[in-house]
Amino acid sequence: MALNEEFESFERNEFEFWSFWVDKAVEEEKLLMISSSYFEEHFFNRAFLLDCNFESHMGALNSFFTSDYCVTINDSCNSFPAGFEMEDRMLVLEMKKTPQGRYSSTVIDDRVEEWSRVYLESFYGDTRLIEGTIMSVERALASGRVKLLAYLEGERIVGVSALYSSGKLVGMYCVGTLKEHRKKGIASDMIRHASSIALKEGKRLVLQTLESDSLLNFYSSNGFSLTYTKTIYTKKKGV
C-alpha cells in the first residue's frame, strides 16, 4: 500500500531533525533509519517506514541495526510485524487554528549548554547525557535550518523547544519545561511563538507526541489537530 506525499514530508521532517543527534542516518527506498550508540534508547535507534511493505525492508533493517531498535508504521497500514512488540503510538499533529496572543519566549543561539541542560532535566530528570546533547544541538544549529526557543525567567532558561524547517513544514520538537515551572503556560507561550515563525515563513507547523504522554488535549487546546497516527514496534536483536 502506498502512502501519500504529505505523510512522507512529515516523516522526513522528523527524520532529518533527529539525524543531527545520531551516529548514522540512512535513507533507502521508502525507508529512513537512524542509529545512535550514545543515546541508547529506542527513540534514537529507529526506522521510519514510508510505505506499508514491511517485509520488503527486513533485509535493510537487519543489516543496519546491531542492537535493539524500533520501527514506526502508519496505522492505516493495519499491520503488526512478526517478531516485534508494540511499544507506543505516536500522534502527528498540525497547527490548524493559529493561537492568538503575545509570547515571551525568544530565539537563542548562544546558550546551547544551558538549553541542553533544561531539555535533559525536562525529559529525563538529570543531565547525564549533556555532552552528546550539546554536540547534537550544535550540529543542528550549524545546518541553518534549526531555531532554538527558550523561555526565560529572569536570566534563567526554564523552558525549551526546537524548530526544524524543511520544504513547506516547520517541525516543533523538544518541547519541555522544568518540573517546578510547569502549569504556568510556558509551553503554550512557545507554541504561539513557533506558530508566528511558521506563519512568517509561509509554512505549516507540525508536531509529534507520544500517546502515552497524554498531551493530545493540551495540544488541541493550543490549535493543533490530529493528522495521522503511527505505531511504534520494538525489535530485540537476536530474538
Q: Are residues 103 and 169 in the same domain?
A: yes
pLDDT confidence tier of residue 2, bands split at 50, 70 and 90:
low
Q: Are residues 200 and 124 in the same domain?
A: yes
Query: Position of cell 555532552?
Result: 131
Q: Are residues 59 and 162 in the same domain?
A: no
Q: Where are the alpha helices (DSSP H) in 67-176?
A: 112-123, 130-142
Ranges assigned E (strand) in the chain: 24-28, 31-35, 46-49, 69-74, 85-95, 106-108, 146-153, 156-166, 169-177, 204-210, 224-235
Condensed to tens digits (0 to 9), the pLDDT of residues 151-205 reads 999 999 999 999 999 999 999 999 999 999 999 999 999 999 999 999 999 999 9
Task: State the residue range of the domain holding 22.
Answer: 5-90+230-235
Separation of alpha carbons 52 and 66, rounded Å: 23
Which triple of cell numbers denotes residue 157?
532558561
Task: Give, as one character, the DSSP assignment of residue 167.
Answer: T
Q: What is the CATH number of the domain that holds 197?
A: 3.40.630.30
Condensed to tens digits (0 to 9), the pLDDT of residues 72-93 reads 999 999 877 888 999 999 999 9
pTM over cut 0.85: yes
Q: Are residues 121 and 57 in the same domain?
A: no
Q: Are residues 118 and 145 in the same domain?
A: yes
Number of domains in the chain: 2
Q: Are residues 104 and 219 in the same domain?
A: yes
- Report which listed range, 3-12, 80-89, 215-224, is most confident: 215-224
Contact 144, 165 (CB under 8 A): no
Q: Are residues 129 and 211 in the same domain?
A: yes
Condensed to tens digits (0 to 9), the pLDDT of residues 97-118 reads 999 899 999 999 899 999 999 9
Q: Are residues 198 and 101 in the same domain?
A: yes
